[in-house]
A and B are shown apart, each in its own frame.
Chain A
């Protein structure tokens, strides 16, 4: 699959270091790789290997020191703060380890959040939200607050929020890290479905080998350098 499709993500000579006082700690060193459209990629590696940093750079929520990240036709490493925010809103969906739902908003309102930045009418937004809540199987829980949902259900709401704007790419940082085995399996099946049925490109950071097994391609990061499995 990945060989046949054109790359949707092109990463070239990407480097990133953190500074603590005068100390410079390299996190990513000269990373080069492509991710094909519709591919499910797992990034694995020990803690501190730079996998979350790489994911953040691909998703445009952190800035690189060197190199470029091209997503589709957009070189996001060249975008300013405001353009980057606009790009994120329309082009990428986020799935976090701890779901990152807003506790004072219902499932419906959480999913609706990214649509508030679009020009869709209230009715159109409702249609979109209901459609994605149906996809994740939580249409009957739309009025529940996060605290009234299980971990697995909260993660499904988060996935609904990630796909409601129909982005091409989904980035997931340890999406099953806070879930029991059964819920984790449900989430992985759902992500798999998003790739196969909806053609999404998923880039997932995980420690869990079972989660990584679902991916088409596993990339290992070790001390900021990349290897392929």
Chain B
């Protein structure tokens, strides 16, 4: 109890220094937390992918399409429950900066495979019945102020032209991680238009989404599908949805690794700064430590005093940093929704933030603690006066 009181009083002995150190640790912990969250989000799509969904695409590249005629053959594979398909559409709304994900899909199978896209039965039915109908996620609708019944015109890039859709439903995600910034419309609308304008591009899909009965069947079904189209003009590559997402993520892995390294560097830098502060503090108090030793206190007692102060400063900074993480993440989610539609800080990140703060305290306290605990009394007493 006495030691705690002593540590607390020492903590506020140089208020400005302590406050600056606490703020420094807090900012570092905040930056660490936000960078970790960013990295986590990058992998979130893969992590939240379903175990019972497979994606079949052209084995050469996703850029190359597959014939729609594959549909029935894939349906016939044992273990397959539902098959749907789609095309990346790549259009934007009014201006290029208003870009979001949009897909041409086969609606019935698709919504059956993606139950996390929650629509009311009426909206779902209206969407199914209207070939020019589309559905959007709640966040996207909020961004552009769209309401059900609105006419939405997109400018095509891969499929040039003005594409008009009637908004038939606004889905909301079952989970927080469910992407709500997507527009989905009927593949048949795209295909019919292509038949009239660019017939050679008609009757092709970008990918098939395949539902399997059990996750354990995924490898078997994947192999079965791919073997169906072996030696054809468009060989397929079937993989789990998670692997499919990871293939995108791996393209930017170097950037993610760099961000991770930066997040650790931030902590390393504040560790050095905090260690310097603690070393300075301990050096100033060497005379006091010598006095305490003279009175009979041992190195261990002094160790706890110095170490305790170091850890308390860092953990205080850590707590402030963690507390600041939530409003900062919320601000990013609201203000930078276009880039980070979902920016939720995980409990693992919070734990890592606190561990980072603790490790700053522990590491920065080691040298001053050792120095204070091992100081020769006679040398320490010479520093006074």
Interchain CB contact under 8 A, A113 and B377 = no
Interchain CB contact under 8 A, B384 and A98 = yes
Interface locus among B6-14, B53-61, B161-169: B6-14
Which residues of A are found within 8 Å of B376, using beta-carbon distances? 62
Which residues of B are found within 8 Å of A103, using beta-carbon distances? 13
Which residues of A are found within 8 Å of B214, using beta-carbon distances? none
Interchain CB contact under 8 A, B381 and A96 = yes
Interface locus among A82-90, A127-135, A220-228: A82-90
Interchain CB contact under 8 A, A82 and B298 = yes
Interface status of A40 (Cβ within 8 A of chain B): no
Partner of B385, one of A59, A86, A97, A117: A97
Interface status of B253 (Cβ within 8 A of chain A): no
Interface locus among B182-190, B197-205, B288-296, B318-326: B288-296
Closest to A87 in B: B296
Interchain CB contact under 8 A, A61 and B294 = yes
| Complexed CA–CA distance, A94 and B381 (Å) | 12
Bits for A28-70, please: 1 = Cβ < 8 Å to B, else 0.
Answer: 0000000000000000000000000100100101100000000
Task: Given A82-B298, A90-B296, A96-B384, decide whether A102 and B377 contact each other with a Cβ distance below 8 A.
Answer: no
Interchain CB contact under 8 A, A94 and B294 = yes
Which residues of A are found within 8 Å of B294, using beta-carbon distances? 59, 61, 88, 94, 100
Q: How far is the CB of B121 from chain A (nearest CB, A)?
A: 70
Interchain CB contact under 8 A, B296 and A86 = yes
Interface status of A74 (Cβ within 8 A of chain B): no
Interchain CB contact under 8 A, A102 and B291 = yes
Interface status of A105 (Cβ within 8 A of chain B): yes
| Complexed CA–CA distance, A109 and B297 (Å) | 15
| Candidate in A90, A102, A103, A109 with the most chain B CB atoms within 10 angstroms | A102
Interchain CB contact under 8 A, B384 and A100 = yes
Interface status of A104 (Cβ within 8 A of chain B): yes
| Complexed CA–CA distance, A86 and B296 (Å) | 6
Q: Total A-B pairs in contact (CB under 8 Å)?
A: 65
Chain A interface main SS type:
helix
Chain B contacts with A in 270-300, Cβ cutoff 8 A: 287-288, 291-299
Interchain CB contact under 8 A, A98 and B385 = yes
Interchain CB contact under 8 A, B6 and A104 = yes
Closest to B287 in A: A100
**How big is the B interface, by class?**
20 to 34
Q: How far is the CB of A124 from chain B (nearest CB, A)?
A: 15
Closest to A89 in B: B296
Partner of A104, one of B13, B291, B297: B13
Chain A contacts with B in 144-203, Cβ cutoff 8 A: 161, 178
Interchain CB contact under 8 A, A88 and B385 = no
Q: How far is the CB of B18 from chain A (nearest CB, A)?
A: 13
| Complexed CA–CA distance, A81 and B13 (Å) | 30
| Complexed CA–CA distance, A89 and B291 (Å) | 12
Q: How far is the CB of A132 from chain B (nearest CB, A)?
A: 14
Partner of B296, one of A88, A97, A98, A100: A88
Partner of B297, one of A53, A85, A96: A85
| Complexed CA–CA distance, A61 and B293 (Å) | 9
Q: How far is the CB of B299 from chain A (nearest CB, A)?
A: 8
Partner of A113, one of B9, B292, B384: B292
Interface status of A116 (Cβ within 8 A of chain B): yes
Q: How far is the CB of A228 from chain B (nearest CB, A)?
A: 26
Interchain CB contact under 8 A, B295 and A104 = no
Closest to A117 in B: B296
Which residues of A are found within 8 Å of B291, using beta-carbon distances? 94, 96, 100, 102
| Complexed CA–CA distance, A59 and B294 (Å) | 9
Interface status of B144 (Cβ within 8 A of chain A): no
Task: Given A61-B377, A62-B377, decide whether A85 and B292 contact each other with a Cβ distance below 8 A.
Answer: no
Interchain CB contact under 8 A, B378 and A56 = yes
| Complexed CA–CA distance, A98 and B382 (Å) | 11
Interface status of A114 (Cβ within 8 A of chain B): yes
Q: How far is the CB of B160 from chain A (nearest CB, A)?
A: 75
| Candidate in B294, B297, B378 with the most chain A CB atoms within 10 angstroms | B294
Which residues of B are found within 8 Å of A53, using beta-carbon distances? 378
Q: How far is the CB of A89 from chain B (nearest CB, A)?
A: 2
Interchain CB contact under 8 A, B295 and A113 = yes
Interchain CB contact under 8 A, B292 and A104 = no
Q: How far is the CB of B62 from chain A (nearest CB, A)?
A: 66
Interface status of B2 (Cβ within 8 A of chain A): yes
Q: How far is the CB of A34 from chain B (nearest CB, A)?
A: 24
Which residues of B are found within 8 Å of A89, using beta-carbon distances? 295-297
| Complexed CA–CA distance, A89 and B288 (Å) | 16
Interchain CB contact under 8 A, A85 and B298 = yes
With contacts A85-B297, A89-B296, A117-B295 known, what are 4 further pairs, Cβ within 8 A? Answer: A61-B381, A102-B292, A103-B13, A114-B296
What is A's interface to B at a CB cutoff of 8 Å?
53, 56, 59, 61-62, 81-82, 85-86, 88-90, 94, 96-98, 100, 102-105, 109, 113-114, 116-117, 161, 178
- Give me 8 A-to-B residue pairs in the complex whose CB atoms sit less than 8 angstroms apart, sorted by A's number: A61-B293, A85-B296, A100-B291, A102-B292, A114-B295, A114-B296, A117-B295, A117-B297
Which are the 9 A-B pairs with shortest beta-carbon distances?
Answer: A89-B296, A104-B9, A100-B291, A61-B377, A98-B385, A62-B378, A88-B296, A114-B295, A98-B384
